[in-house]
């Protein structure tokens, strides 16, 4: 195991950090009446609810009635954002986390919710909660001047760079891949190569940085690197707030939070250090799991089921994503026009995400990851999410709504119109004390028809993201006076022209990877 001089956290090749988790609603997390009961009935109900949440769509029967109006790329932009903000809540005890399994794919028989004070003591965030793209830049390169590292600084991330440009594989036509060594992606966060679409998005961000870097003019190459990184971060942050959040949240809540600041989240309340709220990491931001399609049209020639795009390094014989050279096969490169609105005149437009609701793609119920067979109980993403929320003492949906001064869902609204889900809720006794993750998904269905998050979900997600940006003196929200920060996006020079970047589509266009 290697250790980062900058972080003190171990990791194989990737660059990890060590920042605190905390609770947005600490009093609720410590109040038994605001939590699920610590009983076997609760465990049985969580397992039953996880099983009942399946969307049976397949390529032959796509169940298009579950489609939303949001382009499919935003599911994976959300996952990329999550990986830039938070890590380690899903790790087992032997890997710096809290265990919910017995190591053989079965539930830990001693599973019980931990006191909040114990949770925040035992689990640390391996990312910096700043939307600063530490998942891309790591701890930065050694800034070389006259053949020597400045001030003797040597970073863990030097192998991600060459001449201060981020390494990325580009080839003829639209070919794009992460830099690999024997198939292993050389990137700061290995999770961004656990899924082909996120992998391609990470590679796009590498290409975006390099295009910005190449278009700048400065007195030193170090100055160009620093300026490029700042502009790339700002463009990314702007797109997160004004493109992603405005699509998935109630826009009025996003606008209120940007204008007036968070009402409930004080990022530095945890002893002065900026902390990542567990209600967001363990429940709130996992809403995007419901947006995952059962299958994706990667490009004009290739369509793959959700399980077939996971773990690009996995050996699938002739159908492997990587070729004999241990690089991504050209036929599997993502055509971004199938995932993002790049051109209004393209017939059909991009694929859609699924609606934000309690139905999840069936493939997520048999992931077979962490070395477990896909028949193991813990390979069910829904059950893992629900059980981990219970273990981490995450307040119920009703408790969070009441803390926010929002009218909670009624019992009939919690039960919904799916008989299997309603029965599972009754099994666990969740009508009035509902797991926050499920509550947020059902709230989106009840209040917004699944088109966006509802009141609690929107407030939780928007306050966390915007609150972190407002707490960061280097974010675009704290640098409105800078000439690159305009009212419509981030102005970036490319050669002799200037482009304004404000959306995920703009980032893809600027990176020139859309073909």
pLDDT in tens, 386-430: 999 999 999 999 999 999 999 999 999 999 999 999 999 999 999
Q: Which of 81-95, 164-178, 409-423 tops mean pLDDT?
A: 409-423
Give the pLDDT band (50/70/90) at residue 358.
very high
C-alpha distances out from residue 448 to 171, 432, 452, Å: 43, 21, 6
DSSP class of 362: G
Comparing 62 with 382, the larger pLDDT belongs to 382
Determine the angle formed by the axes of helices 196-215 and 221-239, rounding to 10 degrees: 130
DSSP class of 190: G
Q: What is the pLDDT of residue 202?
A: 98
Question: Which 3 state secondary structure label does DSSP give 184?
Answer: strand
Judged against a pLDDT cut of 80, whether residue 106 lies above it is answered with: no
CB hemisphere CA count around 387 (13 angstroms): 28
Number of domains in the chain: 1
Task: Please name every residue paired with 358 in a beta bridge, in sequence order, or none if there are none.
Answer: none
Q: What is the pLDDT of residue 493?
A: 84
Helices (H) and strands (E) in the chain, counts: 17, 22
Judged against a pLDDT cut of 80, whether residue 345 lies above it is answered with: no
Specify whether the CB–CB gap between 475 and 466 falls below 8 A. no
Instruction: Give me Rg for the CA atoms of the chain.
Output: 22
**Percent of the chain scoring above 70 in pLDDT:** 84
Residue 335's H or E segment, with its range, is: none
Rounded CA-CA distance 472/175 in Å is 35
Give the pLDDT band (50/70/90) at residue 93.
very low
Judged against a pLDDT cut of 70, whether residue 100 lies above it is answered with: no
> Residues 6 or more apart from 90 whose CB is under 8 A from it?
97, 384, 388
**CB count, 10 Å around CB of 241?**
22
Residue 192 phi, psi (nearest 5): -75, 5
**CB count, 10 Å around CB of 401?**
22
Judged against a pLDDT cut of 60, whether residue 460 lies above it is answered with: yes
Question: Which 3 state secondary structure label does DSSP give 349?
Answer: coil
Least Cα distance to 291 among 448, 508, 69, 461 occurs for 69
Judged against a pLDDT cut of 60, whether residue 377 lies above it is answered with: no
Rounded CA-CA distance 295/92 in Å is 29
Rounded CA-CA distance 378/376 in Å is 5
Q: What is the token pair recorded at 292?
A: 């995952």
pTM of the model: 0.91
Q: What is the pLDDT of residue 62?
A: 62
Specify whether the CB–CB gap between 134 and 188 falls below 8 A. yes
Specify whether the CB–CB gap between 370 and 387 falls below 8 A. no
Residue 99 phi, psi (nearest 5): -90, 130
pLDDT in tens, 295-338: 999 999 999 998 899 889 998 898 999 999 999 999 999 999 99
Q: What is the CATH number of the domain that holds 308?
A: 1.10.640
Which domain covers residue 488, as residue numbers?
Answer: 2-511
Give the pLDDT band (50/70/90) at residue 101.
low
Q: How much is the mean pLDDT over the chain?
A: 87
Rounded CA-CA distance 258/242 in Å is 10
| Angle of CA points 484, 490, 493, to nearest 5° | 70
């Amino acid at each position: 195991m290697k250790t980062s001089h900058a972080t003190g956290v171990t990791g194989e090749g990737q660059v990890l950090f060590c920042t605190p988790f905390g609770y947005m609603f600490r009093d609720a997390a410590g109040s038994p009446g605001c939590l699920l009961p610590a009983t076997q009935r609760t465990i049985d109900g969580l397992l039953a609810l996880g099983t009942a949440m399946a969307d049976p769509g397949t390529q032959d029967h796509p169940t298009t009635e579950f489609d939303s109006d949001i382009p499919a790329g935003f599911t994976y932009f959300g996952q990329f954002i999550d990986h830039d903000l938070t890590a380690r809540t899903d790790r087992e005890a032997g890997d710096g986390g809290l265990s919910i399994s017995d190591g053989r794919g079965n539930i830990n028989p001693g599973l019980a919710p931990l006191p909040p004070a114990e949770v925040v003591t035992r689990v640390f965030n391996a990312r910096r909660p700043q939307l600063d793209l530490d998942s891309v830049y790591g701890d930065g390169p050694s800034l070389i001047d006259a053949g020597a590292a400045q001030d003797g600084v040597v970073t863990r991330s030097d192998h991600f760079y060459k001449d201060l440009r981020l390494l990325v594989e580009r080839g003829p036509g639209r070919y794009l891949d992460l830099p690999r060594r024997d198939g292993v992606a050389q990137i700061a966060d290995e999770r961004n190569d656990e899924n082909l679409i996120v992998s391609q998005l990470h590679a796009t961000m590498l290409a975006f940085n390099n295009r910005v870097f190449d278009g700048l003019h400065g007195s030193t190459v170090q100055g160009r690197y620093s300026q490029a990184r700042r502009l790339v971060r700002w463009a990314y942050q702007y797109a997160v707030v004004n493109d992603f959040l405005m699509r998935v949240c109630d826009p009025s809540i996003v606008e209120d939070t940007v204008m007036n600041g968070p009402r409930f989240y004080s990022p530095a309340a945890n002893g002065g250090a900026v902390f990542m709220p567990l209600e967001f990491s363990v429940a709130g931001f996992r809403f995007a799991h419901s947006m995952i399609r059962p299958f994706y049209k990667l490009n004009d020639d290739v369509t793959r089921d959700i399980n077939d795009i996971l773990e690009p390094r996995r050996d699938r014989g002739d159908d492997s994503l990587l070729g004999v050279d241990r690089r991504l096969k050209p036929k599997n490169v993502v055509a971004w026009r199938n995932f993002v609105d790049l051109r209004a005149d393209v017939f059909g437009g991009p694929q859609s995400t699924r609606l934000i609701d309690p139905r999840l793609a069936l493939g997520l119920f048999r992931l077979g990851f962490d070395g477990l067979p896909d028949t193991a109980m813990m390979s069910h993403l829904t059950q893992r999410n629900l059980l981990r929320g219970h273990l981490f003492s995450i307040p119920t949906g009703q408790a969070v709504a009441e803390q926010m001064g929002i009218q909670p869902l009624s019992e009939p609204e919690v039960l919904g119109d799916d008989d299997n889900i309603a029965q599972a809720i009754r099994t666990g006794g969740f009508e009035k004390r509902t797991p926050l993750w499920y509550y947020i998904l059902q709230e989106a269905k009840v209040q917004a028809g699944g088109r966006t998050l509802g009141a609690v979900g929107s407030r939780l997600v928007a306050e966390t993201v915007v609150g972190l940006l407002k707490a960061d003196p280097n974010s675009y929200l704290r640098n409105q006076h800078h000439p690159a920060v305009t009212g419509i996006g981030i102005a970036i020079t490319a050669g002799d022209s200037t482009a304004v970047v404000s959306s995920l589509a703009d980032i893809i266009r600027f990176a020139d990877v859309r073909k």
